[in-house]
Chain A
Amino acid sequence: MFDFAVVTQWVDTLLRSFLPDQAALLVEFLLVGLCLLTAYALIALALIYGERKICAWFQCRLGPNRVGPYGLIQPVADMIKMLIKELIDMNHSDKFLFRVAPFIVIISSVLAFGCIPFAKGLEILDFNVGIFFLLAVSSIGIVGILLAGWSSNNKFSLIGAMRSGAQMISYELSIGLTILTMVVLSGSMQLSTIVESQANGWFIFTGHIPAFIAFVIYMIAGTAETNRGPFDLPEADSELTAGYHTEYSGIQFGFFYLAEYLNMFVVAAVATTLFWGGWMPLHIPGFDNFNMIMDYIPSLFWFIGKVAVMIFIIMWFKWTFPRLRIDQLLRLEWKYLLPINLINLMLMVLIVVFGLHF
């Protein structure tokens, strides 16, 4: 399997060969940041295109098909449109908070994005509390949404923000508990170690029943956490126009839009990493030739393929189920998901203690 650490090591030695240590480090920081942001923007464009096409298929339409072959350039055109639109300030609102809010949302999303192990040796933030850090930074986004809703000086925005806050705080519990379940199984919080320890079978197979329950709950809670349908009532366009980002225009709106899509990517990537082995190829213990063949497929392709499947499932939810009411949404979390989750955690602990997993 190709190890991307070779490339990063090579860049490191190259830079250190003609720069002092500090300067080399600085250049590396900038390079990493640049790569991260480029990947962030490109993935967002791909996701927007994918969403529009998949939505079109579900509704028996064609989707974008005029700009470029199969409408491939459409999201780029949309991006340019968004970049050159005027930024409109609201009267009688707190302009400082109004401008700060999109940045808080996008910073939280970028930080979470930086934790993901994309391929073998291709991870940026790899703390030994990696998954906990990811949870921590993704919870910051709520502050941005609340501030955006309030500082817009608009009733619809405020209602949307309050709904969004209540929803994200509630569903974060479920996400935390499912992640805890998987941490119990893997015995580590470091994302690279979690992936490495799935070399002899992905956790969804080795952890069997509790892992599968945790996976289903994680997907439901993850969809709710990203404010996507059927849990999209913070921005329900038929009742609240667009929820907390109604008053934003141009690139400020673009930030919310980007963060929403990238949060979906992060949710899918975490699901891949925790349950489906991350970049680890499909290995079946005992089938050595099969495992060898699987290793020839680059780890980056494995990762992207699995994430694409997860994203397709999340989009499938959105275009299949009708929107929930706020009381149904909160009831689902507090009366069903949370108790199931706690029992599931107990079950997983018992299975790990008695060694009943594969």
Chain B
Amino acid sequence: MEMTLNEVVFYLLSTVIVVCSILTVTTTRILRSATYLLFVLFATAGLYFQMNYSFMGAVQLTVYAGGVIVLYVFSILLTSSPGGDKERPKRKYMFAGLSAVVVGALLSIYLILTHSFPASRYVAGEIDMKTIGQVLMGTEKYQYLLPFEAVSVLLLACIVGGILIARKR
């Protein structure tokens, strides 16, 4: 079977994503779970880099691997005793989780089967930083200033909420 180097890398990264995703939810120790999640995010960033989409990959690394995971690990270390195995979930919760999984799986399969994947408008080569910046900060069609501002309002609400919760004694 003829396989290009690109395909080998793709299958390697996909395997890492699948295996580590499963390990993330099956492991009983919360800090291990965070570490497996870190590997998943690494491999996803690897996929972005493979598509030569280095800006997206770098954002993935800073925001998720460098930011969110560090935050997770910090808050796990500060709040719970992370060493102990977590207790078995109650049957009621098991049932709820299982039904959520089934509904989610059905929905995804339905979407994948019915969606017609159009030929990708993939442009070879890296995207200029200037283009990304202008698209992010512009107000015209296909430019993202308004959603961007909306997201920052959301973050502001989160910060205010966090302060309120922290101050309430």
Contact A128 B128 (CB under 8 A): yes
Which residue in A22, A137, A165 is a CB contact (below 8 Å) of B61? A137
B38 on the A face (CB < 8 A): yes
Which B12-67 residues have C-beta < 8 A from chain A? 29, 31-32, 35, 38, 54-55, 57-59, 61-62, 65-67
For the A-B complex, the count of residue pairs with Cβ-Cβ distances under 8 Å equals 79
Which residue in A127, A129, A140 is a CB contact (below 8 Å) of B65? A140
Q: Give the segment of B68-76, B98-106, B134-142, B145-153 that binds chain A.
A: B68-76
Contact B58 A150 (CB under 8 A): no
Smallest Cβ-Cβ distance to A25: which chain B residue = B5
Contact A136 B4 (CB under 8 A): no
How distant is the Cα of A150 from the Cα of B96 in the complex, in angstroms? Answer: 33
Contact B55 A26 (CB under 8 A): no
Which residue in A26, A127, A135, A136 is a CB contact (below 8 Å) of B5? A26
Of the four ranges (under 10, 10 to 19, 20 to 34, 35 or more), the interface on chain B belongs to 20 to 34
A220 on the B face (CB < 8 A): no
What residues on A are CB-neighbors of B83 within 8 Å? 94, 153
Smallest Cβ-Cβ distance to B54: which chain A residue = A127
What residues on B are CB-neighbors of A96 within 8 Å? 32
A266: min CB distance to chain B, Å: 15
Which residue in A22, A137, A162 is a CB contact (below 8 Å) of B77? A162
Which residue in B4, B31, B65, B126 is a CB contact (below 8 Å) of A97? B31
Q: Give the segment of A47-55, A141-149, A314-322 that binds chain B.
A: A141-149
Contact B129 A188 (CB under 8 A): yes
What residues on A are CB-neighbors of B32 within 8 Å? 94, 96-97
A147-B35 contact given A22-B5, A25-B5, A133-B54, CB 8 Å threshold: yes
Contact A128 B73 (CB under 8 A): no
B161 on the A face (CB < 8 A): no
What residues on B are CB-neighbors of A147 within 8 Å? 31, 35, 73
A257 on the B face (CB < 8 A): no
A160: min CB distance to chain B, Å: 13
Which residue in B4, B29, B61, B77 is a CB contact (below 8 Å) of A140? B61
What residues on A are CB-neighbors of B55 within 8 Å? 128-129, 132
What residues on B are CB-neighbors of A146 within 8 Å? 70, 73-74, 77
Which A77-96 residues have C-beta < 8 A from chain B? 94, 96
What residues on A are CB-neighbors of B69 within 8 Å? 143
Contact A136 B70 (CB under 8 A): no
Contact A142 B35 (CB under 8 A): no
How distant is the Cα of A189 from the Cα of B58 in the complex, in angstroms? Answer: 12
Contact A127 B126 (CB under 8 A): yes
Q: Of residues A135, A147, A153, A158, which shows the largest number of chain B Cβ atoms within 10 Å of its Cβ? A: A147
Smallest Cβ-Cβ distance to B78: which chain A residue = A162
Smallest Cβ-Cβ distance to A137: which chain B residue = B61
How distant is the Cα of A247 from the Cα of B77 in the complex, in angstroms? Answer: 19
Which residue in A94, A139, A143 is a CB contact (below 8 Å) of B38? A143
Contact A143 B65 (CB under 8 A): yes
What residues on A are CB-neighbors of B82 within 8 Å? 150
Question: Can you list, as one digit per residue, whether each of A143-174 has a CB less than 8 Å from chain B (1) or not (0)?
Answer: 10011001101000010001001000100000
A128-B126 contact given A25-B5, A140-B61, CB 8 Å threshold: yes
A251: min CB distance to chain B, Å: 21
Which A14-51 residues have C-beta < 8 A from chain B? 22, 25-26
What residues on A are CB-neighbors of B4 within 8 Å? 22
What residues on A are CB-neighbors of B66 within 8 Å? 136, 139-140, 142-143
What residues on B are CB-neighbors of A143 within 8 Å? 35, 38, 65-66, 69-70, 73
Which residue in A150, A151, A169, A189 is a CB contact (below 8 Å) of B129? A189
Smallest Cβ-Cβ distance to A128: which chain B residue = B126
A119: min CB distance to chain B, Å: 22
How distant is the Cα of A136 from the Cα of B31 in the complex, in angstroms? Answer: 22
What residues on A are CB-neighbors of B29 within 8 Å? 94
Which A287-301 residues have C-beta < 8 A from chain B? none
Q: Of residues A94, A135, A140, which shows the largest number of chain B Cβ atoms within 10 Å of its Cβ? A: A140
How distant is the Cα of A169 from the Cα of B82 in the complex, in angstroms? Answer: 22
What residues on A are CB-neighbors of B73 within 8 Å? 143, 146-147, 150
Smallest Cβ-Cβ distance to A158: which chain B residue = B77
How distant is the Cα of A96 from the Cα of B27 in the complex, in angstroms? Answer: 12
Smallest Cβ-Cβ distance to A142: which chain B residue = B70
A136-B74 contact given A147-B35, A150-B31, CB 8 Å threshold: no
Smallest Cβ-Cβ distance to B57: which chain A residue = A133
List chain A positions with a Cβ less than 8 A from chain B. Answer: 22, 25-26, 94, 96-97, 100, 104, 127-129, 132-133, 135-137, 139-140, 142-143, 146-147, 150-151, 153, 158, 162, 165, 169, 188-189
Shortest beta-carbon contacts, A-B, top 6 = A139-B66, A136-B61, A127-B54, A136-B62, A133-B58, A136-B58
- Chosen A-B contacts, 8 in total, with CB atoms closer than 8 Å, are A128-B128, A139-B70, A142-B66, A143-B66, A143-B73, A146-B74, A147-B73, A162-B77
